[in-house]
Amino acid sequence: MRENDMLEKEEIFSKVLRAGRRTYFFDVRATKADDYYITITESKKFTEEDGSFHFKKHKIYLYKEDFAAFSEILSDMTSYVLNHKGEEVISERHQKDFKKEYATEKVDTEEEASQISNFIDIDFDDI
């Protein structure tokens, strides 16, 4: 492998954000022309029933000419979410103390039983 190819893959500056099953890697890398760009990699861990696991990764390449617009849109989007939904995490599964509990509720009335029996299971592959 040529020396320039090695430089292209070299990480100049890196930060990591661990977020539950997801990990985000922010890396500054150099192009062949020795200019810098950013890669953002999301790595998500999946555990199999046998206990083994694998990771799925998604990567975004962000070049200098797009930094300002990207930053502005990201700021707009995060502000929108926080202004409309606040900072509280709504999804239980993303709470730090989340423990999955299985519902074992008993149907109390005939009306509730009737509503449940009227449920139709649709397979979207058939549509």
pLDDT at position 1: 47
What distance separates the 2 farthest-apart alpha carbons in the chain?
75
User: pLDDT by residue (tens digit) across 93-120?
Assistant: 555 555 655 544 444 555 555 555 555 5
Pick 55 or 78 by higher pLDDT. Answer: 78
Residue 4 identity (one-letter amino acid): N
- The residues pairing with 14 across neighbouring beta strands, listed in sequence order, are 27
Report d(CA 51, CA 9) in Å as an integer.
Answer: 32
Residue 125 identity (one-letter amino acid): D
Report d(CA 122, CA 63) in Å as an integer.
Answer: 44
Alpha-carbon distance values, 116 to 33, 105, 106 (Å): 64, 13, 12
Using the predicted structure, report yes or no on whether residue 15 has a pLDDT greater than 60: yes
User: pLDDT by residue (tens digit) across 16-34?
Assistant: 999 888 999 999 999 989 9
Pick 49 or 74 by higher pLDDT. Answer: 74
